[in-house]
Structures are given as structure tokens and as C-alpha cells.
């Protein structure tokens, strides 16, 4: 009933709350197109639209009541619950109407500029190996057992996130791993959830189109590591931001890194085309981890996942088995190979540090005598300031193919020119091919059999948007076609 929602709201926020009437409500919706009879429609103010404008449409679709921050005309015949900020109560109200699923499961929240998806997958694999029924929510969607649902966002809006957790609990999940994006934290999508362990994978400049400043971006992530949000923290301390968080967090912290002061310390590591091996030490001694994941970047991901799983009380043998058995997540250093053809590495790297790490991985696969060809773009309408920095890091490639990554209405040629600025004065040979499919194909054709072609920026994504509707484009799929054509042509020449 709406009066029950009112009670939850009064517990969650300060300020005036006013209800007109009562009605049974069954679910919370923020999109009028998703409203079904019995829904409570939340009129959320956003950057592009005000949900109050869609209240009439929601009522016509069957909304039983409205959640508003200003009174709307009473002629629609449904009760209204007026609150100081609709967005501020989405988490508590969404949790209530979903049955408070977070209280029935052990939760792990993973945040960081890079590594959230891989680390979440690793922790999930460790939980499953230990016999736990675990769900995971993040960039790749939501999954429990062999069932999946799409999410659309790394951290779904609070009502959807709460329903996903309820779905997982209904499937018998005892644990859930949730990717916590900075924007999701900033706008309250994770409110009303308390994480048993909050995980920090690292930090660099990103999403300043939303946050405005680096400190505001940092504050959004750091907010997860507070007593009301988390019981324990696992923090990568290999860079200054991690050390700052470990020092400032107001919950117990497990430090993970390569320095002597870490609680879980990486002693040595090796990575190559067969995967990654890490030797680490904690209070119980030394442990050797093996994984099919490629690249130095996954050394830290593996160590953080180990520390998280052990903090959850999982046996060391189960954690080791879970990490070893994980299939690399799509678009995270995904390797495409065929005999007689260059290797292609498809990765989600879209920040300067992630690009640098991906290029180091590519050079490691290529060896000292072979070339690395880079296919690089940047997303339109996002973080223009980092484009030049991406170009600077791209100098590590022998040849760079600048291309479109999804312009979202921005001029793709202008995006490419901003990337090119960072390449000025570098040794890389630079080509421009705005058609992304053609750029990937051209890079593969230009490579020698021992070379590596690195395709970055989109990773797992299969839809690309410019000015019109999204179109299907899967970087790994295009790479597989190009590599197969290359190998076929090589066999024909040898015949």
C-alpha cells in the first residue's frame, strides 16, 4: 500500500513528505512505457527530461499512484506521494517493493575506473566454485546459473537493480556481485543496499562529462566505502588513489598490491598467450593462481578477486579453482587467432591507462620483432578531454588506424582529429578509416602473420550508434571474419 511506501520514505530522507490518498502498489517504474497496472510511477527529473511530463501517460497505462516532487493536477484520479527528491528515494522504495532482496543475500560491490567487469566475474567464479549460488550484475548484463537478463547500464537504475536481485534470490542465490559505477553511486542507484565487501580496482580520469571534476568523480566512488554502505573494503593500493582510499576508508580495509605494506601481496607474475600466473602471499602463506586471462592488467584483478573471495570466507582451494576455471569475459583481451594469420586482441580499453595496458599486452604477444597495429576511436558526446591523452598512449603502437567508435551525433571526423593531436610527433604510422568495419579489416590485411592487431574501445558491445538508430557491429565478429579471410588467402597462396 502507498502508506507503507510513505513510511519507508520517511525513514530514508529528511524533509516534508505528503500523501494524497492510498492505493495498493506492486512495483516501481521510472519509464512510463514500462508501466503496468498497479505500478507506482516515479516522476524523476533528469538532464534531458522531467518525468512529471509523463505522469498522465503512466496513469493511462495503469499506474496506481504517482511519486512526485511537486503536486500534479488531481484530475487523474490516483494518489500522489510528494517527496523532496524523487530520485533520492528510488533505492529505498525500489527495495521495499521488490521485497528487500539485498537483506536475503551476501553482496559484493565492485567499483573502479577499469577492471570492474573482470573482477566481478572472477569473484563470481570463486563463489560458484565454493558451491555458492551466486548472481552477478554489471556491464555484461545480469546472470544467475544459466539464466541471463539484459541491463542496459553497468549499474541499472535502482528499481531494476532491486528487481534483478529479487529475481536472483528467487532462483536460490545466496550471494550477488554488483558492479558499482561512479554514476550509479552518484545518482543513488545503489542506495538501500549494504555490501558485505566493497572492492576498489583502481582509478583514473573518466566520466568527467557527468562528474565535472576529478575530485567529484573520486568522491562518487569513495562514497561506497562508508560504514552504512559496506562492512569491509578490499582496495588495490598499487597507485596513489588506492592508497588514499585505504587510508581514508571508515571500514576495515584489506590492502592488495605489489608493495611490502599490502595485506595480500603479489610476489611475482607471468603473462603470455597461454594466460596469466600469479604468486601472492597473505596471512596464510603463499598461493599460486593460474588463469586464462591475458595481460598484466589481470594480475591486479586476480589478486583483488582472491582477497575478496577469501574475505568472504571461501576456502583457498575453491578460490584457486574458480579463478582458474573462468572463461575470459567477452571483449576483455579477447584473442582471435588462426594459423598463418596475425592475432587480433579485442579489448574494452577506453581510458588512457587501460589503452597503455592493452598495448603492453599486445606487444608481449607480438614479441620484440613483430608489429602492433592499433584500431582506435573515441565515443561521441563523452569526455573530450581524454581524446588527446588516448592519442598520446597510442604512440606505443607501430601503426594506428583511427576510426569511428560511435559518434552519438557528434562529427566522427572531428573526434578522430582530436585523437590525432596526441599522436603528433610520435613514431606511429597513422591512417584514418571512419568505417569501423573497414578499419578493422584493413588493419588485419596490413599485418604480417606474427603481428598483433589491437582493437579497443567497444569490447563486448554489439550495437553502435551515430546519428540514426543503433546498428549491429561486433568488433570480435568483424575480427574473426578478417582473420579467417587472411588465413584462407594465405592457404591459397601456399597451395
What are the residues whose beta carbons fall under 8 Å from the beta carbon of 175, sequence distance 6 or more? 105, 106, 107, 108, 127, 132, 133, 134, 135, 312
List helix spans (H) across 205-256.
208-211, 214-222, 240-248
26-79 pLDDT, tens digit each? 999 999 999 999 999 999 998 778 999 999 999 999 999 999 999 998 767 899
The burial class, CB within 10 Å (0-12 / 13-18 / 19+), for 152 is exposed
Q: What stretch of H or E contains 287? A: strand 285-291
Task: Please tell me the distance from the alpha carbon of residue 439 to that of residue 374, in angstroms, as a whole number.
Answer: 10
Residues 119 and 224 in one domain: yes
φ/ψ bin of 77: left (φ > 0), alpha (ψ from -120 to 50), beta (otherwise): left
Residues 304 and 390 in one domain: no
Task: Please tell me the distance from the alpha carbon of residue 381 to that of residue 384, in angstroms, as a whole number.
Answer: 8
Q: How many domains does the chain have?
A: 3
Closest to 122 measured CA to CA, from 174, 177, 175? 177
Taking the alpha carbons at both ends of the chain, their separation in whole angstroms is 76
**Domain-terminating residue out of 65, 97, 129:** 97
| Residue 32 annotated as lining a ligand binding site | yes
Higher confidence at residue 183 or residue 176?
A: 176
| Residue 155 annotated as lining a ligand binding site | yes
pLDDT of residue 400: 98
| Residue 259 annotated as lining a ligand binding site | no
Q: Quick check: pTM over 0.85?
A: yes
Residues 7 and 25 in one domain: yes
**Domain-terminating residue out of 97, 118, 133:** 97
Residues 237 and 364 in one domain: no
| Percentage of the chain modeled with pLDDT above 70 | 98
208-222 pLDDT, tens digit each? 556 568 888 878 888
| Residue 117 annotated as lining a ligand binding site | yes
pLDDT confidence bin for 205, thresholds 50/70/90: low
pLDDT above 90: residue 114:
no
Residues 84 and 121 in one domain: no
The residue behind cell 560511435 is: 406
Residues 142 and 205 in one domain: yes
Residues 128 and 54 in one domain: no
| Residue 189 annotated as lining a ligand binding site | yes
392-449 pLDDT, tens digit each? 999 999 999 999 999 999 999 999 999 999 999 999 999 999 999 999 999 999 999 9
**Domain-terminating residue out of 299, 325, 351:** 325
Residues 56 and 184 in one domain: no
Q: What is the CATH number of the domain that holds 394?
A: 3.90.190.20
| Residue 118 annotated as lining a ligand binding site | yes
pLDDT confidence bin for 323, thresholds 50/70/90: very high
| Residue 120 annotated as lining a ligand binding site | no
Residues 400 and 278 in one domain: no
CA torsion angle for 156, 160, 161, 167 (degrees, to 10)?
-140
* Domain of 22, in residue numbers: 2-97
Q: What is the CATH number of the domain that holds 93?
A: 3.40.1390.10
Residues 6 and 137 in one domain: no
- Phi, psi angle pair for 267, to nearest 5°: -90, -40
84-112 pLDDT, tens digit each? 999 999 999 999 999 999 999 999 999 99
Residues 135 and 19 in one domain: no
Q: What is the CATH number of the domain that holds 187?
A: 3.40.1190.10
| Percentage of the chain modeled with pLDDT above 90 | 76
Task: Please tell me the distance from the alpha carbon of residue 256 to that of residue 1, in angstroms, as a whole number.
Answer: 47
List helix spans (H) across 398-455.
412-423, 436-446
Residues 93 and 105 in one domain: no
pLDDT of residue 190: 93
pLDDT of residue 61: 95
| Residue 181 annotated as lining a ligand binding site | yes
What are the residues whose beta carbons fall under 8 Å from the beta carbon of 204, sequence distance 6 or more? 113, 114, 241, 351, 352, 353
Amino acid at each position: 500500500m502507498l502508506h507503507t511506501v510513505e513510511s519507508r520514505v520517511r525513514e530514508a530522507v529528511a524533509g516534508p513528505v505528503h500523501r494524497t490518498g492510498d492505493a495498493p502498489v506492486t512495483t516501481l517504474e521510472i519509464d512510463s512505457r514500462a508501466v503496468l497496472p498497479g505500478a507506482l510511477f516515479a516522476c524523476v527529473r533528469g538532464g534531458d527530461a522531467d518525468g512529471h511530463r509523463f505522469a498522465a501517460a503512466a496513469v493511462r497505462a495503469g499506474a496506481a499512484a504517482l511519486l512526485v516532487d511537486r503536486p500534479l493536477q488531481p484530475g487523474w484520479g490516483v494518489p500522489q506521494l510528494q517527496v523532496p527528491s524523487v530520485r533520492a528515494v528510488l533505492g529505498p522504495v525500489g527495495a521495499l517493493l521488490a521485497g528487500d532482496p539485498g537483506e536475503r543475500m551476501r553482496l559484493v560491490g565492485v567499483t573502479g575506473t577499469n577492471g570492474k567487469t573482470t573482477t566481478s566475474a572472477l569473484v563470481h567464479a570463486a563463489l560458484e566454485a565454493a558451491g555458492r549460488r551466486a548472481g552477478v550484475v554489471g556491464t555484461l548484463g545480469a546472470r544467475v546459473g544459466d539464466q541471463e537478463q539484459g541491463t542496459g547500464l553497468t549499474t541499472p537504475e535502482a528499481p531494476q537493480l532491486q528487481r534483478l536481485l529479487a529475481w536472483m534470490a528467487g532462483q536460490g542465490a545466496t550471494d550477488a556481485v554488483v558492479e558499482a559505477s561512479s554514476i550509479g553511486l552518484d545518482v543513488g542507484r545503489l542506495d538501500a543496499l549494504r555490501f558485505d565487501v566493497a572492492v576498489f580496482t583502481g582509478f583514473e580520469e573518466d566520466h568527467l562529462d557527468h562528474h565535472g571534476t576529478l575530485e567529484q568523480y573520486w568522491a562518487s566512488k569513495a562514497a561506497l566505502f562508508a560504514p552504512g554502505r559496506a562492512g569491509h573494503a578490499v582496495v588495490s593500493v598499487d597507485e596513489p588513489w588506492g592508497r588514499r582510499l585505504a587510508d581514508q576508508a571508515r571500514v576495515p580495509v584489506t590492502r592488495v598490491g605489489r608493495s611490502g605494506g599490502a595485506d595480500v601481496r603479489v610476489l611475482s607474475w607471468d603473462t603470455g598467450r597461454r594466460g596469466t600466473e600469479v604468486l601472492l602471499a597473505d596471512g596464510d602463506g603463499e598461493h599460486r593462481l593460474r588463469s586464462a586471462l591475458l595481460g598484466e592488467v589481470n594480475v591486479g584483478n586476480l589478486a583483488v578477486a582472491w582477497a575478496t573471495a577469501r574475505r568472504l570466507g571461501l576456502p583457498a582451494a575453491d578460490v584457486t579453482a574458480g579463478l582458474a576455471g573462468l572463461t575470459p569475459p567477452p571483449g576483455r583481451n579477447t584473442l582471435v587467432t588462426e594459423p598463418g594469420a596475425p592475432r587480433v586482441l579485442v579489448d574494452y580499453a577506453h581510458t588512457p591507462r587501460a589503452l597503455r595496458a592493452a598495448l603492453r599486452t599486445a606487444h608481449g604477444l607480438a614479441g620484440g620483432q613483430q608489429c602492433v597495429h592499433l584500431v582506435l576511436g573515441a565515443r561521441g558526446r563523452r569526455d573530450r578531454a581524454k581524446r588527446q591523452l588516448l592519442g598520446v598512449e597510442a604512440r606505443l603502437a607501430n601503426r594506428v588506424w583511427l576510426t569511428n567508435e560511435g559518434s552519438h551525433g557528434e562529427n566522427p571526423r572531428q573526434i578522430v582529429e582530436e585523437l590525432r593531436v596526441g599522436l603528433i610527433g610520435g613514431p606511429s604510422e597513422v591512417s584514418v578509416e571512419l568505417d569501423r568495419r573497414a578499419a578493422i579489416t584493413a588493419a588485419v590485411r596490413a599485418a604480417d602473420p606474427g603481428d598483433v592487431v589491437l582493437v579497443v574501445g567497444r569490447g563486448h558491445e554489439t550495437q553502435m550508434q551515430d546519428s540514426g538508430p543503433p546498428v549491429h557491429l561486433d568488433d570480435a565478429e568483424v575480427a574473426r571474419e578478417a582473420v579467417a579471410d587472411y588465413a584462407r588467402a594465405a592457404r591459397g597462396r601456399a597451395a
